Amino acid sequence: MKTSPVHVARSYLAIVVFLLMLLLLVPFALVMLVFSFGRLSNFIIEKIAPILAYTTLWIIGIKFHVKQHADEIPVPAVFISNHSSTLDLVTILALGLPRVRFVAKWEFQYNPLFFIMGRLTGQVFIKRQDSEKAVKSLKKAYRRVKKQNLSIFAAPEGSRKHEGVIGEFKKGAFRTALDLGYPIVPIYFEGNNKLSGDDDLYARPGECTAHIYPAIDTSDWDLELLPEKIEEVRSMYLEWAGVDEVTNWQ
């Protein structure tokens, strides 16, 4: 499906508006966080970030739906999602998940706006290329996460650029759930990769949906069973994506 010049223009306008709103938000957030001694971080993530996200989606012409397949979402938890589109960042923010902190790639900090907001709100930045340092960064965050009763959000594929519709799952998010004793809440983004690819800076108008599935209990998991459990969770994503393990293509 070709993207028209109008759609490309709307996408770039959405990026500009998003960055301008973020630029205006930074000093406001700084004042809020300083005078609240950091206690308003959750308010910014749960209430302000979705406004940025939905405004961006509206400009592009995307209708974003959230379908919850469970009666309630446990908190705290480790939230995971598939990751194959540049839209994923926006739709993740649009969810406004309660008391959540995001595991993000270190390179996001090269953007000064993301650096300031990320550091102010206590996000977890890791160097994906160095698994040892990534694990250390996560473990360093555990104490703060447990003390503040926070949830974690991570994309187990690690990068949106991978082979197949669903890439191989890395251990980080699952090891975090095991170490913290948290359940895992799987979220499947349906339609994101059809509106914007893994290397696109633009998106087409359309609809996409975040499916929030029932939590997975990890209380009986151990390190020996971890690879098997990871593959079980990944097979669920393959099923939701409508692909099989052999081809992994729609």
Encode pLDDT of 22-55 as tens digits.
888 878 877 877 777 667 888 989 999 999 999 9
Is residue 195, in this structure, part of any structural domain at all?
A: yes
What's the confidence (pLDDT) of residue 46?
Answer: 93
The residue among 84 and 229 whose pLDDT is bigger is 229
Cis bond before residue 76 (omega within 30° of 0): yes
What's the confidence (pLDDT) of residue 172?
Answer: 86
Which of 195, 155, 198 is closest to 64 using CA atoms? 195
- What CATH number is given to the structural domain containing 106? 3.40.1130
pLDDT tops 70 at residue 3: no
pLDDT tops 60 at residue 2: no
Per the structure, the complete domain to which residue 187 belongs is given by 5-241
Is residue 17, in this structure, part of any structural domain at all?
A: yes
Is residue 41, in this structure, part of any structural domain at all?
A: yes
Separation of CA 222 from chain center = 25
Contacts 24+ apart (CB under 8 A), 54-57: 54/94, 55/17, 55/18, 55/21, 56/14, 56/15, 56/17, 56/18, 56/90, 57/14, 57/90, 57/91, 57/94
pLDDT tops 90 at residue 207: yes
Is residue 248, in this structure, part of any structural domain at all?
A: no
Separation of CA 38 from chain center = 22
Is residue 246, in this structure, part of any structural domain at all?
A: no
Is residue 250, in this structure, part of any structural domain at all?
A: no
* Mean predicted confidence (pLDDT) in 229-244: 93
- How many structural domains are present in the chain? 1
Is residue 249, in this structure, part of any structural domain at all?
A: no
The string of pLDDT tens digits covering residues 139-152 is 778 888 899 999 99
CA dihedral 246, 210, 105, 145 (to 10 degrees): -120
**What DSSP string describes the chain?**
-PPPHHHHHHHHHHHHHHHHHHHHHHHHHHHHHHHTTTTTHHHIIIIIHHHHHHHHHHHHTEEEEEEE-SS---SS-EEEE---STTHHHHHHHH--TTEEEEEEGGGGGSHHHHHHHHHTT-EEE-TT-HHHHHHHHHHHHHHHHHTT-EEEE-TT-SS--SSSS-PPPSHHHHHHHHHT--EEEEEEESHHHHS-TT-S---SEEEEEEEPPPBP-TT--TTTHHHHHHHHHHHHHHHHT--TTT---
* Mean predicted confidence (pLDDT) in 15-27: 84
Is residue 174, in this structure, part of any structural domain at all?
A: yes
What's the confidence (pLDDT) of residue 38?
Answer: 65
